[in-house]
Structure 1
Amino acid sequence: MMNWLQELPNWQPYGDPQYFIYLLVALIPVVVALLFGKRIKWYEGLVSLAFIVLMFAGSHWQQFIALIGYIIWQAVMVFGYAKYRQKADNKWVFYGAVFLDVLPLAIVKITPAVTMGQNSLLGFLGISYLMFRSVGMLMEMRDGVLKEFTFGQFLRFMLFMPTLSSGPIDRFRRFTEDYETVPDRDKYLGMIEKAVHYLFLGFFYKFILAYIFGTLLLPGLEHEALVAGGLINWPTIGIMYAYGFDLFFDFAGYSLFAVAISYLMGIETPMNFDKPFMAKNLKDFWNRWHMSLSFWFRDFIFMRLVMVFMRHKVFKNRNVTSGVVYVLNMTIMGFWHGVTWYYISYGIFHGLALVINDWWLRYKRRHKKQIPHNKFTEGFAIFLTFNIVMVSFLLFSGFLDQLWFHNH
């Protein structure tokens, strides 16, 4: 099997226009069937399996083995806890299940930090997104809103091909309801229309704008900045904006592709971005940027930590509670990106910035008569938020680590 995998071509999801040709041709029977109100489950599964195998074929064959092992591990965690939850509800058993669920990803994230850059053999493309899906299922089982599901439904949700590598992060109940309910003809025609629009917009984002900022501009600016040296310089300011735009257009392009292919398969996968650079404050930004991730952290970490802190009266003041949890929530998000000082600092930066943002919004509500509100102030708020976000992206990029500590 290993030799067979290594001999297959490696097709990275949404990596080049040729990939889309093969994928769209393979999906023609799916589209035709949905137009007639039918879902060919066996064929969808076959196409998904084929493209997942090709995603991890060739030189990435070890990742395919890691994927199989990971799915088995997650199945044991999810179905083991589901069986337990039918009989009892001990919080420590729940915490243990979540810990064991997250453990493989934690090992993957920590390994490069302790082995001088070597990646863990447990890692594979998309592992983070699978972890969010399975932990979400554990959370909903604990809440009592997810009680019954089959192994087939679990596999279909975990290995949904369009979103496997880059999200967006879906929820089990929403996804399963979509899959089991075939859209009527008029609704599906509207989904096809949106899918075509998202594909063209994704191509513009990923293959034109991200190419301009990430391939044409960024390398030259990085070279100039390293030559200039120091704590900060003008080329580094250029990197801040070039990297920020490259990050957005590249990731938003991938997300649009995933949503478009999902729509063609009759699944209304949630959008991931909503004009984030038009946000009027940081809270608004996180309601627009990588929305499936920020909403996941909001629902499954932020709100739960707030409830725990309030229940145990850790802080008397509700605003202090939310402020502390903002910092904890975003710091965890920073660790999720990777165990490096710049990822963790990025999380802390946004946590503290959200505390300040929350204070300002409360202050504005108390003094709304004294504080002017017009197009100019709105424009300034958008401009300020945009630049604060760009500073955080410069931190996130890791370039400052190279400039400050490895520029020899």
Structure 2
Amino acid sequence: MFSFLSVEFALIFIVFFALYWAFYRQSKVQNGLLLIFSYFIIFLMAGAIATSVLLLFSVLIFIISRMLMTSLRPKFWLVLGIVVTIANLAVFKYYEFFRANIVAAMQALQLDASGVVANIVFPLGISYYSFQAISYLVTLHQRRANHAVSSPLTFWQLLTHLSFFSTISAGPITRVDDTKGLLDIEKKPCGMQAQLITTAHRKPLLPMLAFALILLALAKKWWLAGYLADTWVNPVFANPEGFHSLEVLAAIYGYTLQLFLDFSGYSEMMVAFGLLLGFRLPMNFNAPLLAHNIRDFWDRWHISLSTWIRDYIYIPLGGSRNGFVRTQINLIIAMVLSGIWHGSTLNFFFWGLFHGLAIALLNVGDKVLQNRTSNPKGRNFLAGTGWLGKGLGVFTTIHFVVFAFVFFRATTFEEALLIFKALFTNHINVAWANNPLYLLSLLLIAWLLYPVVRNGAKRLAPILAKVPNVLLYLALFIGFMLVVVLAPSGIPGFIYANF
């Protein structure tokens, strides 16, 4: 199977990398090569249909964007572009949901449902390039409304922006302009338009760090996430009734860590590819498992999605402009829509609802404590009471996140309920299949040591800067070989590529 973890991709990327930098003085040629390479990768991963869908969609968005900038009715073209994008996404992403309901209705009316198409191809990355398209159209409309002197992307630049191989499969979701909260690994803004239209000579950015990120991503995905999935998460979620309550608990904790390792590893690998090609892409994670409340969690988890929800769902709904109660309703709606974006089944709806209610309840608590949610002391009450209060906040937040993720991992709402039933009842007459205390102890130790390791890595950076590059590259090469040689067989898929 062709993927970012396959040998075939590595070989193709090496050839492309050499050709790309052969034209380091010509950024337009590099953009052309990047566009060709991106479409080639999409074709190899998803086939001709998915590639054609992306191309046709990109052409349509380009036409709408030009009409938006030149027409006397720009708002009409903005709304049309958003409707077309959402309709295109809904047809492919939620077809199975619609099909199942149509078939059920036809059968209830005793009509022949055999003519309903069984399934359709789900185009690679459609969720992510749809979000980028909406962001682009809204940005153009805002520029025109503000009389900003800024040209839209050319046809080829737009195609490259929507198909960039480092963002197509599972993000990060990029924007054309610099955006509050979206920063690269050096905490610098990373709007794509300035990077695509530049005429300056590009150069690889932080190559040592980029290779280290790739190595770290491989270790996260192949070693750690793979072990958790194969040994604990998948077996328990497939048959919760056959495992002891402590094993179910270990799998629940294990899934949150698996998802974090899998998705953060993928995101860091994509950021690394961008750096090697001279592009700055936004970081998607900032130690989310150390968040001290649920607001803080969403400031740290899947940052490119959470900021997109903020800017294109929450704020258009009214944000915090219409009073406290309406603000909480807007937050809940935004989080429910986030859940539905992940999937059409009831469990995703409840996952989003739980997070929306948690944020709203936190805001209510702030209101009670300080009578003003904008007061920093009220918004971070526990964190401001010292290390014990902050520790309690982190503990509470992570456990909410962990148990809410049961609905995220389960394939149906009923399956999620079975997991909780097994958690609370299987301690009576079900024997251990594995020793869950071993994994639970490791997870606890890892969680406690994580802040220490993060701080240690920051302190180590100045020391490593004094080490000769040849030794650092040698260490990275040895690490890479160890990861590849000791990795389990097979090429695992990334979880968020399914969304």
TM-score, scaled to structure 2 = 0.69
SS at 1:257 equivalent: helix
Q: Offset of 1:215 from its aligned partner? A: 1.6
Tell me, which stretches of 5 or more residues in structure 2 are unaligned? 102-116, 145-149, 178-190, 422-499
| Correspondence 1:109-258 to 2 at 5 A | 109-116=93-100, 120-121=119-120, 123-144=122-143, 147-173=151-177, 174-181=191-198, 188=203, 190-222=205-237, 225-227=240-242, 233-258=245-270
State the Cα deviation string for residues 293-346 of structure 1 (Å, max 9, x = none).
111111111112115x84xxxx5xx21121010011011111111110001111
> Which residue pairs with 2:83 in the alignment?
99
State the superposition RMSD in angstroms.
3.0
Question: Following the alignment from structure 1 to structure 2, what is the Cα–Cα distance between the partners of residues 119 and 323?
Answer: 40
Q: Could you tell me which runs of 5 or more consecutive residues in structure 1 were left unpaired when the two chains were aligned.
A: 1-9
The change in CA–CA distance for 1:223 and 1:82 in structure 2 (over 3 A counts) is closer
Amino acid at match of 1:142: H
Map of 1:29 onto structure 2: 19
Determine the C-alpha separation between the residues in 2 that align with 1:112 and 1:287.
32
Displacement of 1:380: 1.1
Task: Report Cα offsets for 1:202-237 as digits up to 9, x if no partner.
Answer: 1121111111111222233335623269xxx44332
| Conserved? CA contact 1:346–1:395, under 8 Å | yes
Looking at structure 1, the residues matched to 255 and 386 of structure 2 have their Cα atoms a distance apart, in angstroms, of 31
Match of 1:67 among 32, 51, 59: 51
Distance 1:120 1:224 in 2: 27
Identity of aligned residues (%): 24
Q: Give the aligned partner of residue 286 of structure 1.
A: 298
Q: Distance in 2 between matches of 1:152 and 1:77?
A: 12
Residue type at the aligned position of 1:302: Y
**Does the 8 Å CA contact 1:30/1:39 hold for their aligned counterparts?**
no
Is 1:19 the equivalent of 2:9? Answer: yes
Structure 1 residue aligned with 2:415: 402
Q: Which amino acid aligns with 2:266?
A: Y
Partner Cα separation in structure 2 for residue 224 and residue 69 of structure 1:
38
SS in 2 for 1:121: coil
Q: Are 2:345 and 1:354 equivalent residues in the alignment? A: no
Change (3 A) 1:212 1:391: same
Cα distance in 2 for partners of 1:267, 1:298 equals 25
**Equivalent pairs, count:** 378
C-alpha distance in structure 1 between counterparts of 2:343 and 2:302, whole Å: 17
CA distance in 2, matches of 1:163, 1:119: 30
Distance in 1 separating the partners of 2:40 and 2:74:
41
Write the letter of the residue equivalent to 2:347.
Y
Alpha-carbon distance, 1:281 to partner: 0.9
Distance in 2 between the 1:404 and 1:373 partners?
36
TM-score by length of 1: 0.83
Is the Cα–Cα contact under 8 Å of residues 137 and 172 in structure 1 kept in the other structure?
A: yes
Q: Contact between 2:240 and 2:418, CA under 8 Å: does it hold in 1?
A: no
Match of 1:6 in 2: none
- Equivalents in 1 of 2:14, 2:166: separation in Å? 12
Distance 2:125 2:157 in 1: 19
8 Å Cα contact 2:294-2:359 kept in structure 1: yes
Are 2:334 and 1:329 aligned? Answer: yes
| Residue equivalent to 1:86 | 70
Q: Distance in 2 between matches of 1:405 and 1:116?
A: 23
Compared CA separation, residues 182 and 29, structure 1 to 2 (3 A): farther
Equivalent residues in 2 for 1:41-56, closer than 5 Å: 41=30, 42-56=32-46
Decide which moves more: 73-82 or 353-362: 73-82
Deviation, structure 1 residue 25: 4.0
User: Cα offset for 1:78?
Assistant: 4.2
Asked whether the 8 Å contact 1:78–1:134 carries over to 2, the reply is no
CA shift for structure 1 position 189: 5.4
Q: Distance in 2 between matches of 1:261 and 1:119?
A: 37
SS at match of 1:104: helix
Moved more, 81-90 or 122-131: 81-90
From the superposition, tell whether residues 284 and 47 of structure 1 become closer, same or farther in structure 2 (CA, over 3 Å). Answer: same
Q: CA deviation at 1:154?
A: 0.9
In structure 2, do the counterparts of structure 1 residues 17 and 69 end up closer, same or farther at CA, with 3 Å as the change threshold? closer
Contact 1:108 1:120 in 2 (8 A): no
Find the structure with the greater CA-based Rg.
2
Deviation at 1:109, TM superposition (A): 2.6
Question: Match for residue 463 of structure 2?
Answer: none
